[in-house]
Chains A and B, each alone.
Chain A
Amino acid sequence: MNLSPFTIGLIGVVGLLGVGFYGLLVSRNLIKIVVCLQILAKAALLALVAAGQAAGQIDLGQSLALTVIVADTIVAVMGIALGVQIRRRTGTLDVRKLSSLRG
């Protein structure tokens, strides 16, 4: 069977989304959570490129993807920095022990 590039892209997107959401659902380590968020963002990035290619506006999709990379890096840096601070202050990275958002 032969798959179009768009379908291959979509399969990648769904796969990445699955990995990211699975990680968010099960992981308790803050660093892992940041990594999973990154995977989710990469899924969105791939979707942008694939959609741009399918719509015939590949340049638009790619430039949006570049913007996502920039914004996404900041998220990663902030998340890691927060993790470092939390580890220093509380001595743990386990989000279940950190939950003070309880109603």
Chain B
Amino acid sequence: MVGVLSLLVIGLPWLGAAVIWLAGDRRPRLLHGLAVGFSVLTGLAALAMLPFASSSASVRIPFGGVLGDFSLVPDGLGVFIAAIAAVVGSLAVIFATDYMRGHNEQLSRFYALILFFIGAMVGLGLSGSLLFTFFFWEITAFCSYALISFHNDDPRAVAGGVKALIMTQLGGIGLLAGSLLLYSYQGNYQINQFLANAGTFPAGVLGLMAFGCLVAAAAKSAQVPFHSWLPDAMEAPTPVTALIHAATMVNAGVYLLARFYPAFQGVPGWRLAVMIVGAASALLAGLMAVAADDIKRVLAYSTISQLGFMVYAVGSGAIFASQFHLLSHAIFKALLFLSAGALITSLGTRDLRQMGGLGKKMPFVQAVFVIGALGLVGLPIANGFFSKDLILEGGLAGGPAWLYILMLFSVGVTALYSLRLVRMIFAPQAGNGRGPEPTHDGLPAMRVSLAILAVGTLTSWLVGGPFGRMLATTLPAQHLQAESTWALVGQILVNPFTWVTLAVIALGFSLWAARKYFARPAAVLKPLAESGLGFEWLNRQIVSLTQRAATFLQRFQTGQLNWNVAGILGGLILILILLAGVR
């Protein structure tokens, strides 16, 4: 039963992608219908899989040889990632039926790639073999690249796509190296076997795998210093951004860290490195979000920052808190991005400075956007409040105090940029009053997605208890403890640090109120933050260094046959000597 379901959740969207690809662009209404049908069916199948979570493989197909076994393990983490990908995926597709109106000429490519992505993301979550995890990982990277560059006549979109592809490839290399190391020491790629026997691996190998895994996760989850691809990925159509660059693919890094935490936690320095990467991303990206003027870039930086919270939580050992925040974040950030998409189609601009005073004209979008912002800031009732407090609690228990203080500071910065975002869009007195007039307040299909996500933002914390139990029963290696939802809520409310967090949030809000006193330092810091705090400069240096090295190496390419033969012969002799030496 669960085997069929888990194959279905990967197979349905891929079948849909093939059908839509073959259907061509001539009948857009048919394409919209097909995409919604396939994605909603996938979402239902993924939800149906939730009760069957178990830690034994549901599907095992031997490929033989170096490929090993392809296996799907529907454990708590796996079905959870699959459900988020499939459900948010279907909502994004529903939203896209309105968003993509007027882009009929490329519609089949768009939907095919989205469905292909959903299937790959589900596979990434469920795969029990590290090699196939790597394959799915690369498919998601490819879909992300192709969808960022979807408007392929726009040079910025193409550049953003290529940048995302190159930077996430760095992570792919780390993952591939990890899986090959695993194969050479274990003889297969099965993750669960590795988690059970990680203690028997040589310390050096384990350390190499642990830090390779951290690089992979940082590149995929856009963590410092590999974060700069995510803001440039904002050229993608907004439903794609909401799905891939907020709710699913960027979580793959956090997922990977959480999955391998039991094996790597003993590696010296690894946990601290993970926590520092997370805290640095949370803080730096938050500061950049305060300075950005493009609504999608603000949300992109905020995504990096929130992912930093999750990475920090994994590093401090709070696996459940990180996955709980992953759930909350997937919902409220998808909501924020999709509302931003509604704003963008309605206004025709992404520039915050041209917005302002839209609250009266777009009451529905304002309502859902504010709900999303509540989740992002972490105010009570919204899901972000509970998950973020769990993270801070876990961080204080499992990590050094100075990192906790940095995270608290990031919480304040989150409050500051969220309030700035909401005020700049909706407040009556904001803007210069000469911005474009909105043409709609969310089209019907958009409203369906937005309403579902808004309800989810307000209520998803209620599943905290069952979700924790599912993780605890199916992930033996992680040693989690299940608690009921109300016990969690009580624990959060009683904890004095929750109130510290709320005070910091209030402080962040008051910073915005007192912004005119900070006008001068802000004016100095703004260009610095807009240029990505020097990371863009670093990227350019690396690119130019690579190009100069290539130009230098060109000199050895003489084009003379005799030299080439000499090179081949030299290589051959070298190999012979090496072989003789090994013997």
Contact = CB atoms under 8 A, between A and B. Distances in A.
Interface in A52-103: 95-96, 99-103
* Most chain A CB inside 10 Å of its own CB: which residue of B557, B559, B561: B561
A10 to B, nearest CB: 14
Contacts of B561: 24, 33, 95, 99
Contacts of A33: 561
Interface in B406-425: none
B566 A99 contact: no
Contact of B560 (A21, A27, A99): A99
A33 to B, nearest CB: 7
A103 B562 contact: no
B557 A21 contact: no
B557 A102 contact: yes
B558 interface: yes
B184 interface: no
Contacts of A99: 558-561
A93 to B, nearest CB: 12
Nearest to B565: A24
Contacts of B559: 99-103
A86 to B, nearest CB: 13
A3 interface: no
Contacts of A1: none
B557 A26 contact: no
Contacts of B566: 25
Interface in A27-71: 27-28, 33
B569 interface: yes
B558 A21 contact: no
Contact of B562 (A25, A100, A101): A25
Interface in B518-566: 554-555, 557-562, 565-566
A102 B565 contact: no
- The binding surface of chain B is classed by DSSP as helix
Interface in B437-487: none
Contacts of A95: 560-562
B558 A102 contact: yes
A23 to B, nearest CB: 9
A11 B557 CA distance: 34
Contact of B554 (A24, A28, A103): A103
Interface residues of B, number: 11
A25 B554 CA distance: 21
B61 to A, nearest CB: 36
Contacts of B554: 103
Contacts of A26: 562
B568 to A, nearest CB: 9
Contact of B565 (A25, A96, A100, A103): A25
B557 A96 contact: no
Contacts of A21: 565, 569
A54 to B, nearest CB: 19
A83 to B, nearest CB: 13
Contacts of A101: 557, 559
Contacts of A25: 562, 565-566, 569
B560 A24 contact: no
A2 B488 CA distance: 89
A79 to B, nearest CB: 12
A25 B562 CA distance: 5
A80 to B, nearest CB: 16
A62 to B, nearest CB: 26
Nearest to A33: B561
A101 B560 CA distance: 8
Given A24-B562, A25-B562, A26-B562, A103 B557 contact: yes
Contacts of B560: 95-96, 99
Nearest to A95: B561
A100 B569 CA distance: 22
B127 to A, nearest CB: 41
* Most chain A CB inside 10 Å of its own CB: which residue of B554, B560, B566: B560
Interface in B10-68: none
A88 to B, nearest CB: 20
A63 B558 CA distance: 40
A96 B560 CA distance: 6
* Most chain B CB inside 10 Å of its own CB: which residue of A25, A27, A33: A25
Given A25-B569, A33-B561, A103-B555, 18 more contacts: A21-B565, A21-B569, A24-B562, A24-B565, A25-B565, A25-B566, A28-B562, A95-B560, A95-B561, A99-B561, A100-B559, A101-B557, A101-B559, A102-B557, A102-B558, A102-B559, A103-B554, A103-B557
Interface of B: 554-555, 557-562, 565-566, 569
Interface of A: 21, 24-28, 33, 95-96, 99-103
20 contacts: A21-B569, A24-B561, A24-B562, A24-B565, A25-B562, A26-B562, A33-B561, A95-B560, A95-B561, A96-B560, A99-B558, A99-B559, A99-B560, A99-B561, A100-B559, A102-B559, A103-B554, A103-B555, A103-B557, A103-B559
Sorted nearest first, the 8 A-B pairs with minimum C-beta distance are A103-B557, A102-B559, A99-B559, A103-B554, A101-B559, A24-B565, A95-B561, A25-B562
